[in-house]
Amino acid sequence: MGKNPWFETVAEAQRRAKKYLPSSVYGALVAGSERGRTIDDNTAAFAELGFAPRVAGHFAQRDLSTSVLGVDCSFPVVISPTGVQAVHPEGEVAVARAAAERGVIMGLSSFASKPVEEVAAANENTFYQMYWTGSREAMVQRMDRARAAGAKALIATLDWSFSNGRDWGSPAIPEKVDLKTAVKMAPEVLQRPRWLWTFGKTGRIPDLTAPNLQPPGGSAPTFFGAYFEWMQTAPPSWDDVKWMREEWGGPFLLKGVSRVDDAKRAVDAGVNGISVSNHGGNNLDTTPASIRLLPSIAEAVGDEIEVLLDGGVRRGGDVAKALALGARAVLIGRAYLWGLAANGQGGVANVLDILRGGLDSAVLGLGRSSVHDLCPDDLHVPDGFTRALGTSA
């Protein structure tokens, strides 16, 4: 009998992932930029918020269900799209299956290692994510493909400014895994025999291509080939955002909003929802934690569009805090990637169960019957906690 694969916290999933993954792969998941202040603040800020629990009058039955962009979900957590999940042979398909089992929406990155057709087949509630990259013709082709596969919404991620350099060092990530790369990485990979065996028994090697960016009649670009295209594409304007939304024609979420004025511009562009986000701390370092920015943005546009949050969510209590400050739901990224690395599909389901259980405990202790009843009165928000960006005339 091996070690019990179950873990009780996301922190434990991360510890197991660190022991299991080659150091460069683990470092790629940690990510962050420059000083790492934003990635640290994303999680630390949640701990600054306190709960205001009630002592009696609790509800024996609590409703955690909600909907995001018209799609029902069992509780307000969405799988955030993250690129190239080659930490496990089944990658995004394993994540999609776990999410489907738990009644959760699957966000799929256009930089993913699995094609949208396979992922949407594994989870009928898949949202497809795109960057502003390549020609408009190429972007239309990618949208058409996602739509044909059954994607129910489009997530546009536009908050990337190509920050580079980490004070703790960046991992060496190969463009592709070939014989030369295998020899070069052998010393660190051989220290992780379980990870090597997980791939070895499938007869496959980690796939570092982006199949969803494959042009008709062409081959899928490598991750770095796709990244280069992204860097060479002129940044989008608000008119481009409107074009993207109109071309998609269905529910549309703009990810990466941190300013009130940008949130209002997003409403004007016709989006259905936004995610308050700093790209998981991977963009401009020293941007405040997402949860600090949420209240001002939710107050400004929450009556007009759906407001989500991503960045730093590691516990069900974090979900409750985000909802109390105005979010309809949260997106998770690293949390489920740790689970995927620790135990594949079962590890992702484990993480979702942890978040659901923690959220239910918070709703119970706060004396609420539904996640929709959570409000600022359920929290202690310290003086100076929130940040309001883009509010000057």
106 neighbors 127 (Cβ within 8 angstroms): yes
306 neighbors 275 (Cβ within 8 angstroms): no
For residue 193, the model assigns a pLDDT of: 64
* Cα–Cα dist 320/363, whole Å: 7
For residue 173, the model assigns a pLDDT of: 66
Coil vs helix vs strand at 360: helix
Distance of CA 59 to the CA centre of its chain: 31
Tell me which of 38-42, 53-57, 97-101, 282-286 is least confident. 282-286
Per-residue DSSP letter, 236: P
Per the structure block, which two tokens stand in for 350?
């484990």
* Cα–Cα dist 224/116, whole Å: 19
For residue 184, the model assigns a pLDDT of: 59
Catalytic residue positions? 279
Q: What's the mean per-residue pLDDT of the chain?
A: 91
State the burial class of residue 373 (Cβ atoms within 10 Å of its Cβ: 0-12, 13-18, 19+).
middle
Residues near 36 by Cβ (< 8 Å), separated by ≥ 6? Answer: 166, 167, 168, 281, 285
Beta strand 71-73 with 105-108 is: unpaired
In tens, the pLDDT along 156-212 reads 999 877 677 878 677 666 555 554 555 455 556 556 666 565 766 665 656 678 999
Q: Terminal CA-to-CA distance of the chain, rounded, Å?
A: 65
Coil vs helix vs strand at 164: coil
pLDDT bracket for residue 283 (50, 70, 90): confident
pLDDT bracket for residue 1 (50, 70, 90): very low
pLDDT bracket for residue 350 (50, 70, 90): very high
What is the average per-residue pLDDT within 56-60? 96
For residue 18, the model assigns a pLDDT of: 92
pLDDT bracket for residue 288 (50, 70, 90): very high
For residue 201, the model assigns a pLDDT of: 65
For residue 214, the model assigns a pLDDT of: 93
Say how many CA atoms lie within 13 Å of 119 toward its Cβ.
Answer: 32
Beta strand 329-332 with 77-79 is: parallel
Q: pTM for the full model?
A: 0.92
The sign of the CA dihedral 337, 342, 348, 352 is negative
In tens, the pLDDT along 295-337 reads 999 999 999 999 999 999 999 999 999 999 999 999 999 999 9
